[in-house]
């Protein structure tokens, strides 16, 4: 070796003198006691275990040459020494024992401490050692780095100085590198195992079935939710073929092979002794060349998805009996009866004139029942075209008719599963659909339009009508058997003219509600005008009174002498309040709102707090038209 190549020895010797190491020193300045060494070995257990087979292999190469193998930690403390009896005794005499620190600061220049300081494999032989006690040794040391590149230990071969050989250093460096590789592999393995646990925990925490399968249908990985959703145990599931579970398997395979994904389609899957509808997504797993090799399936419970959608989109009952206004004794008896039957599975039939609050009552019954957390789905049988009501109620399968959505669409009964369906204006239901409704009620199953699958449902029906259904039966407009199935728990809501004592309550309630909504002051009604309201018959019932209060708030005042004083209108049209019927007042108010919002039906409906369909019906009723578009005739 050249003088320049050994320059690190001179530098190390200089450091040793600076550390105050004595050349006559026999043992290290720092040696751990038994307890301290035990703690250190426990701390460095990973390094010791991984290094052990490589140390033994290295020793097998050199044991005939009287070498010892030494393993140190990152500070130079000896963790283990392997050698024959003669060499071990010689090593112990010179202080090369477990627990002894071989750093330059503790014992001067040596193969272990200097290799750690220089962060590279090197050899120290004979008098290159700072301490004279090691002048008879040759030491080849190589630092060991962990997976992050930090030094975690040192491997050393020590023997008689006449055995010095550059190949010895090569063997030590190779063994150290092998230990580093194993430390990296172990770290990667632990990271993979940790990530596997994270991924499995995440996948198992999702309320969806997730599993993978190859193109032959062999099921590979399965999350725990799959077993409970499909009703299979782990062994049965993994032995099953995916094509036996998923009904539309062939179509999925074709799409995945074209590298296409399938996103949230409603399909059927086979479960033990049954077939259920689920929401399915499928994604290709690609190999490094981008070719699909397996499929990931994500399957969700359609019923739970619909419940969540109902919650988000508002298919829930809002009103409660606490919000039902009234102090009339007969009316309060009806409320108490409704509470008693709220938990019943039997059909409830609400009868009453338009505007008596039948839907509010239906929602209140729902919220008082044990189905309060389940969907409440309302359908007005008189507001939907006859050719659409069937698909609205019962849903349809893909391809059932022109324009049908891919994957089909659930009907109101499926959406209401577990909860309540409110069928308003049941008397307007087409006669042929009454037969289907009766069948659904009798069998608790529904079949989509164009489909053959019978879908089980658990739905409580609340129907409402402003017609005398018994008379409709006699006229042949309503099925007799359906009437008796609906009329199990009848509730008749009285018209406002039969509960006139509640008029002041409604006026106060609507005055408070509408004034806040319209950001206008409340109007105090004179006694004479209240007397007039008491005498009025209220053909439109509570809804008519609500519209009147809104009209009064919008006009901002009611004259003290309403028989002679005129109310100023924005369109400068004057009228006598007592000379007009409430229907005439309503017509004027609607015309005023249409002009205010430039015949934007959506804005008019929003301002009046009623639906667009109601606006259209009232425009037709009062023969109100838009000269620009004749919207009332469309």
Domain with 17 in it: what CATH number? 3.30.450.40
d(CA 291, CA 573): 76
Give the helix/strand (H/E) hosting 107.
helix 104-107
Q: The whole model's pTM is what?
A: 0.52
Answer whether 14's CB lies under 8 Å from 111's CB. no
pLDDT at residue 147 greater than cutoff 50: yes
Answer whether 566's CB lies under 8 Å from 575's CB. yes
- Asked whether residue 370 falls in the same domain as residue 228, the answer is no
**Would you say the C-alpha torsion 224, 226, 231, 237 has a positive or negative sign?**
negative
pLDDT at residue 224 greater than cutoff 70: yes
Worst-scoring range by mean pLDDT, 249-258, 288-297, 311-320? Answer: 311-320
What are 284's two structure tokens?
Answer: 């290709």
Q: Which residue segment(s) compose the domain that 286 sits in?
A: 206-305
Mean pLDDT over each residue of the chain, to the nearest integer: 85
**pLDDT tens, position by position, 338-356:** 999 999 999 999 999 988 9
Confidence of residue 561 (pLDDT cuts 50, 70, 90): very low
Higher pLDDT, 249 or 569: 249
Confidence of residue 565 (pLDDT cuts 50, 70, 90): very low
Give the helix/strand (H/E) hosting 58.
helix 45-62
Higher pLDDT, 198 or 427: 427
Residue 169 lies in a domain: yes
| High-pLDDT (> 70) share of the chain, % | 90
Written in H, E and C, the secondary structure of 460-525 is EEEEEECCCHHHHHHHCCCCHHHHHHHCCEEEECCCHHHCHHHHHHHHHHHHHHHHHHHCCCCCCC
For range 458-477, the mean pLDDT: 92
| High-pLDDT (> 90) share of the chain, % | 45
> Between β-strands 122-125 and 137-145, what pairing exists: parallel, antiparallel or unpaired?
antiparallel
Residue 200 lies in a domain: no
- Asked whether residue 441 falls in the same domain as residue 570, the answer is no
Q: What is the pLDDT of residue 9?
A: 95
Confidence of residue 311 (pLDDT cuts 50, 70, 90): low
- Asked whether residue 553 falls in the same domain as residue 486, the answer is no
d(CA 412, CA 111): 83
Worst-scoring range by mean pLDDT, 191-205, 412-426, 429-443, 553-567? Answer: 553-567
- Asked whether residue 50 falls in the same domain as residue 164, the answer is yes
Confidence of residue 41 (pLDDT cuts 50, 70, 90): very high
For range 195-203, the mean pLDDT: 84
Confidence of residue 577 (pLDDT cuts 50, 70, 90): very low
- Asked whether residue 482 falls in the same domain as residue 556, the answer is no
Residue 603 DSSP SS3: helix
- Asked whether residue 161 falls in the same domain as residue 16, the answer is yes
Residue 195 lies in a domain: no
Q: Which residue has the tokens 């105050």?
A: 20
- Asked whether residue 39 falls in the same domain as residue 179, the answer is yes
- Asked whether residue 489 falls in the same domain as residue 593, the answer is no
Residue 516 lies in a domain: no
pLDDT at residue 69 greater than cutoff 90: yes
pLDDT at residue 631 greater than cutoff 60: no
Residue 504 lies in a domain: no
- Asked whether residue 14 falls in the same domain as residue 72, the answer is yes
Give the helix/strand (H/E) hosting 60.
helix 45-62
Residue 418 DSSP SS3: coil
Report residue 617 CA to chain centroid gap: 42
Supply angle C-alpha 532, 533, 538, rounded to 5.
Answer: 125
Q: Based on the structure, what is the number of domains in the chain? A: 4
> CB within 8 A of 1, min separation 6: which ones?
none
**pLDDT tens, position by position, 91-105:** 998 889 999 999 999
Q: What is the pLDDT of residue 564?
A: 37
pLDDT at residue 365 greater than cutoff 90: yes
- Asked whether residue 173 falls in the same domain as residue 211, the answer is no
**Residue 212 bridge partners (DSSP):** 296
Q: What is the pLDDT of residue 201?
A: 84
Confidence of residue 318 (pLDDT cuts 50, 70, 90): confident
- Asked whether residue 349 falls in the same domain as residue 270, the answer is no
- Asked whether residue 48 falls in the same domain as residue 179, the answer is yes
Residue 511 lies in a domain: no
Specify the CATH number for the domain of residue 417: 3.40.50.300
**Residue 279 bridge partners (DSSP):** 266, 300
Specify the CATH number for the domain of residue 294: 3.30.450.20
pLDDT at residue 265 greater than cutoff 70: yes
């Amino acid at each position: 070796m050249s003088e320049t190549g050994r320059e690190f020895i001179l530098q190390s010797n200089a450091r040793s003198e600076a550390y105050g190491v004595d050349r006559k020193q026999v043992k290290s300045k720092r040696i751990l006691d038994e307890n301290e060494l035990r703690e250190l070995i426990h701390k460095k257990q990973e390094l010791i275990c991984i290094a052990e087979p490589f140390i033994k292999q290295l020793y097998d190469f050199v044991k005939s040459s009287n070498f010892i193998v030494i393993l140190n930690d990152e500070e130079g403390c000896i963790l283990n020494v392997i050698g024959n009896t003669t060499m071990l005794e010689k090593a112990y005499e010179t202080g090369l024992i477990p627990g002894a620190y071989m750093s330059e600061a503790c014992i001067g220049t040596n193969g272990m401490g200097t290799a750690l300081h220089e962060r590279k494999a090197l050899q120290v032989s004979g008098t290159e050692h700072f301490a004279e006690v090691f002048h008879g040794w040759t030491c080849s040391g190589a630092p060991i780095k962990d997976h992050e590149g930090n030094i975690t230990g040192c491997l050393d071969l020590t023997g008689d100085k006449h055995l010095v050989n550059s190949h010895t250093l090569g063997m030590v460096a190779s063994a150290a590198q092998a230990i580093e590789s194993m430390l990296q592999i172990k770290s990667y393995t632990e990271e993979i195992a940790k990530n596997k646990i994270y991924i499995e925990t995440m996948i198992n925490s999702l309320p969806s079935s997730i599993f993978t399968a190859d193109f032959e249908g062999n099921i590979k990985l399965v999350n725990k939710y799959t077993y409970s959703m499909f009703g299979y145990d782990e062994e049965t599931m993994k032995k099953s073929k995916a094509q036996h579970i998923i009904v539309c398997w062939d179509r999925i395979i074709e799409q995945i092979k074209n590298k296409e994904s399938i996103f949230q389609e409603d399909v059927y899957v086979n479960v033990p002794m049954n077939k259920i509808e689920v929401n399915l997504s499928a994604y290709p797993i690609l190999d490094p060349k981008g070719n699909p090799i397996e499929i990931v399936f994500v399957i969700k419970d359609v019923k739970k998805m619909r419940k969540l959608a109902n919650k988000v989109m508002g298919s829930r009952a809002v009103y409660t009996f606490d919000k039902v206004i009234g102090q009339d004794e007969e009316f309060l008896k009806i409320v108490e009866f409704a509470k008693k039957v709220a938990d019943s599975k039997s059909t409830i039939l609400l009868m009453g004139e338009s505007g008596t609050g039948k839907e509010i009552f239906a929602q209140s019954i729902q919220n008082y029942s044990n189905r309060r957390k389940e969907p409440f789905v309302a359908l007005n049988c008189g507001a939907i075209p006859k050719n659409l009501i069937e698909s609205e109620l019962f849903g349809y399968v893909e391809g059932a008719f022109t324009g049908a959505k891919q994957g089909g669409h659930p009907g109101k009964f499926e959406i209401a599963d577990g909860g309540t369906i409110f069928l308003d204006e049941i008397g307007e239901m087409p006669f042929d659909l009454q037969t289907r409704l009766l069948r659904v009620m009798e069998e608790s199953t529904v079949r989509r339009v164009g489909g053959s699958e019978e879908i089980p449902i658990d739905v409580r029906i609340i129907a409402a009508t402003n017609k005398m259904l018994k008379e409709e039966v006699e006229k042949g407009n309503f099925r007799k058997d359906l009437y008796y199935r609906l009329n199990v728990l009848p509730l008749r809501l009285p018209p406002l003219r039969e509960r006139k004592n509640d008029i002041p309550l409604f006026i106060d309630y609507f005055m408070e509600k509408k004034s806040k909504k319209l950001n206008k002051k409340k109007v105090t009604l004179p006694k004479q005008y209240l007397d007039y309201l008491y005498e009025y018959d209220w053909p439109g019932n509570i809804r008519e009174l609500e519209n009147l209060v809104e009209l009064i708030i919008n006009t901002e005042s009611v004259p003290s002498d309403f028989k002679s004083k005129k109310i100023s209108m924005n369109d400068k049209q004057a009228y006598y309040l007592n000379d007009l019927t409430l229907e005439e007042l309503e017509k004027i108010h609607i015309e005023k709102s249409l002009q205010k919002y430039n015949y934007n039906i959506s804005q008019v409906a929003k301002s009046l707090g009623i639906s667009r369909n109601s606006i259209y019906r009232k425009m037709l009723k009062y023969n109100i038209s838009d000269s620009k578009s004749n919207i009332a005739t469309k």
